[in-house]
Structure 1
Amino acid sequence: MKIIPFVKNLLTSPARSLRKIEVKNGLINSPQFNREIANVYRMDIDNAGDYYSSPVHYFKELGDIQVDIFDFKNSADTNLEEQISNNALIIGGGGLLNRKSFKFQMKTFEALAGRGKKTVLWGVGHNSKNKKDFRKLESYNIKTEKFGLAGTRDYSLSKEWVPCVSCLNEVFDKSYSAIRETGIILHKKTLKNSRIAAAFKDYPLISNSQDLEQFVEFIGTSENIITDSYHAMYWGILLNKKVVVVPNSSKFFDFKYAPVISSFENCIEDLKKAEVIDGVLEECRERNRLFAEKVFNYLEI
C-alpha cells in the first residue's frame, strides 16, 4: 500500500524526534575531544548554494570529515555521535539560524561549546520564514558569543561579518558575456507553483537545483537576475549583476549590499531600480581569508 507523503510524515515525525533526543543526550553525556575537525553543513547536492557554503571545499587545512546537519534525525547514521564528540566543529555556512528545522542541532552545538568543545560558526545566517521577522529580526535564536569563533553573513547582527565562503569558488574567476537581458532563478519548491512558473514563461528560467557551473554560468550570461534564492542573489551581486529579490525568508534582508526587494507581480517593473555594485567579490573573499586565519589559529592547525 502506498503511503501518501503527509501520512508518512505523521508516522515518521515521532521517530525522528526520538532520534534527535537520543543523539543530543548521547552527545551531552559523552566526553568531548578536539582531535580533528568535523565540518557540519547542509550537504544537499541538489542545492548548490547549501552544498558549496562550507569552507571545507576551499581550505585543505580543514580535512575531509563532513557531517550533514540533517543527519541528527537519520536513525541509520551510527557515525554521527562519534564524529561530533571526537572533533572540533566548523558549522556552516547557510541559513541555519532562526529556522525550526535547524534549531535543535544549533542548540546542541551551543551546549557543546559550553563544555569545552572548540566550535566555529562560519558564514551562517538567519533564515526565518515568519513574515513578521522580515526587515525586523533583531537577534539570533542561539547565543553566538558562546561559540569559540562566530562569523555570520548578516551584516547588522554580526559582530564579525563573514559572507558566504562560496565566493572563493574558482567558478567566479571565469569571464562571462551577457547573452540575455533578464534571467529568472527560482527555488525548486517555487517552481511547483504553476501560477508563478506561468508568469515567467516568456523568460529564460532555471531552478536552484542546477549544478554550480550551470547555475553561475546562467547568472554570468544574464544582465539582470530576478530570484527567490539566496545564493542566486549573492552570486548575482558578486558577478556585478542587477538583482531583484522576491523574499521567502528573513535571509534576504541583511546582506551588506541590499538588492531590490519586490514581489512576483512587480519584479519585472522593479528591475529599473536595481544597480550594479562593484568590488563585492574581492571584499567577500578578503573577509573569508582573514577569518580563515583566525580559525586556523584558534584550532591550532
Structure 2
Amino acid sequence: MLDFAFVNIKNTPNTGDQVCTPYLYFDFPNAEHFHVDDKVPDCKVAVYGGGAIEPYLRVHRIHDSVNAKKKVSWAIGTSRSGTKDHGELVNDLDICSVRELNREGGDYVPCVSCMSPLFDQKYEVDQEVVFYKHAKKTKDGTLEGLPQMSNRAPFDEVIEFLGRSQTVVTNSFHGVYWATLLGKKVVCIPFSSKFYGFKYPPAYAKWETWERQVQKAVSHTEALEDCRTINAAFYDRVIALHNTVG
C-alpha cells in the first residue's frame, strides 16, 4: 500500500496544472503521482490538487473510487465561466484546502507552485509591460506589440519571462499568481470565477481597458514568503494526518 497518492490534472499542456502538485516540492514517503483519470491504488492518504479540480471531486466524485484511509485536497480551485461565484464546495474530505481566500467550507492554502526555487532567482528587468496569455482563451493577434508568452511554455521560461517584466497583463490564473509572487504589478483580464479569491489581488480590466488599469496595479512584495509559510504549515498538517493512520 502506498503512503501517499497525489492526484491532479497531470497530463496537460497547461504549465500551471503540470506544476501545481505538492508531490514536486515536499518530501513524502512511499509516494506516487497520478492523473485525474488514472486508477489510483490503495493508499493511506490521497492528496488531490492543486489546480481547478474541485468539480472533479464535488461533481464527478473521483475520490469515491479510491481506497484511501484519509483524503485531502491541497489548494484546489474551481472555474465557472462568466461569474465571480465559485459555487458549492466538496464537503466530504478529511481536510479540504482551497486556493481561494475566504471560501466557506475550506481552509485557505495558495497554490503550492510557490515553493519552486525558480522564485528565488534574480531576473534583470528589461521589459516594461508583457502579456502572459491563456492559449485556449486568447485570439491570435490579441495585444499585438507586447512581448508575449503562452501558458504552455516551460515553467522555467515562464518565470524568467515574468521576472524580466515590470508589469504583467494576463488572462491566466497562474500568470496572475506567479507574477504576484515575483513582486510584479499585475493586470488581470478575467473570464471565470477562478480569478476571484486571490489574497493579493491584481488590478482587473477588460481587453479594451487594460492600459488604464496599469496605473492601479500594485506589487505585493510579501506574497512569496506568506504563500510559502502557509504551504509549509499545511505540509506539516498533512504529515501529521498521515501519522495517525495505522
Residue identity opposite 1:53 in structure 2: C
Which is strand-richer, 1 or 2?
Answer: 2
Q: Secondary structure at the match of 2:73?
A: strand
Q: C-alpha displacement at 1:151, in angstroms?
A: 1.5
**Is the contact between residue 138 and residue 157 of structure 1 (CA under 8 Å) also seen in structure 2?**
no
Q: Give the structure 1 partner of residue 35 of structure 2.
A: 68
Deviation at 1:239, TM superposition (A): 0.6
**Aligned AA (2:86):** L
Report percent identity of matched pairs. Answer: 28
Contact 2:187 2:214 in 1 (8 A): yes
- String of CA shifts for 1:119-150, please: whole Å, max 9, x gaps: 01001012112x2x31x33532x21xx21112
2:103 matched to which residue of 1?
157
Alignment root-mean-square deviation, CA: 2.1
What is the CA distance between 1:45 and its match in structure 2? 5.2
Q: How much does 1:253 deviate? A: 0.6
Q: Which one has a larger percent helix, Structure 1 or Structure 2?
A: 1
* Number of aligned residue pairs: 243
Indicate if the aligned counterparts of 2:44 and 2:242 stay in contact, CA closer than 8 A: no
Q: Secondary structure at the match of 1:94?
A: coil
Contact 1:46 1:211 (8 Å CA) reproduced: no
The answer on 1:273 being equivalent to 2:216 is yes
2:86 corresponds in structure 1 to 137
1:91 to 36, 40, 48: 48
3-state DSSP class of the match of 2:77?
Answer: strand
Alignment pair present for 1:238 and 2:205 = no
1:172 matches 2:93: no
**Structure 2 residue runs without a partner (length 5+):** none
Which of residues 192, 208, 212 is equivalent to 1:249?
Answer: 192
Structure 1 gaps of 5+ residues are 1-33, 72-79
- The answer on 1:40 being equivalent to 2:4 is no
| Aligned-partner Cα distance in 1 for 2:77–2:29 | 21
* Structure 1 residues 281 and 261, CA gap change in structure 2 (3 angstroms): same
Alignment of 1:94-243 (within 5 A): 94-98=51-55, 104-105=59-60, 107-109=61-63, 111=64, 117-129=69-81, 131=82, 133-134=83-84, 136-137=85-86, 139-140=88-89, 142-143=90-91, 146-157=92-103, 159-191=106-138, 193-194=139-140, 198-243=141-186
Larger Rg: 1
Mapped partners of 2:214, 2:112: distance in 1: 27
Which letter does structure 2 place at the counterpart of 1:153?
R
Q: Cα gap change, 1:86/1:296 in structure 2, threshold over 3 Å: closer, same or farther? A: closer
SS in 2 for 1:176: coil
CA distance in 1, matches of 2:16, 2:142: 25
Residues 287/62 of structure 1: CA separation in 2 closer, same or farther (3 Å cut): farther
The Cα of 1:35 is off from its aligned counterpart by 4.0
* Cα distance, 1:137–1:97 mapped onto 2, change above 3 Å: same
- Match of 1:147, as an amino acid? L
